[in-house]
Amino acid sequence: MAIIRKTGISSRIFYKPVQRHIPYLYIRIIKNERMKLLKNLLLSALMLWGGVCATYAQEKTTTAGVPVVKLNNGVEMPRFGIGTFLQPSDEVCEQSCLTALKAGYRHIDTAHAYQDEAGVGRAVKESDIPREEIWITSKLWPTEYGEGKTLKAIDEMLDRMQLDYIDLLYVHQPVGDFVGAWKDMEKAVKMGKVRALGISNFDANDEVWNTIMQAATIKPQVLQMECHPYAQRVEMRKKAAAEGIQVECWFPLGGAMSNGALFKDPVIKKIAEAHGKTPAQVILRWHIQEGFSVIPGASNPDYIKENIQIFDFQLTDDEMQQMRSLNKEKRFFNATLEDVEKMVWGQGCKSGERGKTGWLINNNGKHASCHVSRCRLLCTLPCFTRMSQSGISQTAGRRSSPSPHRDCLA
């Protein structure tokens, strides 16, 4: 039963309860238009503030402040990690990973081709950090591709690292039977041996991209490719976004072949000075604010620690726009698919020369010998041969006395 009482300002509706212990409900109907407007403005402000608070509350980070992204399969991945390509040795890789884990890293990117997976596995065990808190990524080389063959390669990978599962597994290069490999990778996911799947260097052309997308039952969760302020890969990012695929960047600082070009850029240097940071830290911070995952490589302990110290400052909107304006779509690693095939299938470092293979992993899972010892994997490409022979460091241009392995190719 309702009783309506009218007053000069408002009307009140009293709902008389059926039982005495239920309190009266008062609904006040505001007639004054000014009061209505004020009420609506107040509600809008509260909703906006609540939305902002909710956004920040929902942003998940690791204990070191690294943002975590939820991949398209629901699995969560730290967006910042260390890459282990071109570590001087398996033992050095182990120490680099331990340094990184102590500094707050929780994401390590390796590959069978890097020959340092065992070092990664030892570091994980020695760190005493719970396995579930560390994200481990590795990659299959094309000689391991093929339905039936790839499952065996995954078991061997787990054995090398002494792990029960891999968090993210890539097909490393878009050559060979990567479709057959993908089918086995999907089986590995169902078996609990792998949590997420990715494609590395599938930005090569539309054909390889479309082939893997059409063949995949489990869509890729991550695309790994070269990406930095000079090559922001706008079109590839659109393609990845359309499929809900997270982009992860190798060569985030330009790599050895850039000769430190990004570190010398006046725009980046000016922004770094404004924040009291290094150019490298500004570049990595830009990657994070753009939504990328990023895996700078380093073996120098100082650089490993410096790289992750990017979560105590933020680039302004204007600074982000300045960084975006640097885009030239200028890549520093320009290997064609033909070059990659030569790397994989045993072509020599010089045209027509055979037997001096660099990135080749033979059918026994072993690396073939390389005439440039430090460049165990990539001597088939002239640029990497020059890097190895001349001792050009991964930190070229960053400091007066650069140390090796600052920004390694993943």
- Annotated catalytic residues are 114
Tokens for 404?
């090796």
Pairing assessment for the beta strands 25-30 and 68-70 based on DSSP bridges: unpaired
Beta bridge partners of 14: 3, 26
DSSP 8-class letter at 231: B
- Which region, left, alpha or beta, applies to residue 32 given φ > 0 means left and ψ of -120 to 50 means alpha? beta
Tokens for 295?
């895996």
What string of H, E and C letters represents the secondary structure of 319-356? HHHHHHCCCCCCCCCCCCHHHHHHHHHCECCCCCCECC
The two counts, helices (H) then strands (E), for the chain are 14, 13
284: number of Cβ within 10 Å:
27
Q: Do the Cβ atoms of 303 and 403 come closer than 8 Å?
A: yes
- Rounded distance, CA 226 to CA 336, Å? 14
What is the DSSP code string of 52-101? HHHHHHH--B-TT--BEEE-TTS-EEESB-EE-TT-S-HHHHHHHHHHHH
Q: How far is CA 180 from CA 48, 175, 217, 322, in A?
A: 50, 11, 12, 44
Dihedral of CA atoms 147, 149, 153, 154 in degrees, nearest 10, equals 30
Tokens for 8?
């000069």
Pairing assessment for the beta strands 293-294 and 166-171 based on DSSP bridges: unpaired
- Rounded distance, CA 95 to CA 189, Å? 30
- Rounded distance, CA 77 to CA 84, Å? 18
Q: For residue 168, give every residue at least 6 positions away whose Cβ sits within 8 Å of its Cβ, in sequence order, or none.
A: 77, 135, 136, 137, 138, 194, 195, 196, 197, 198, 221, 222
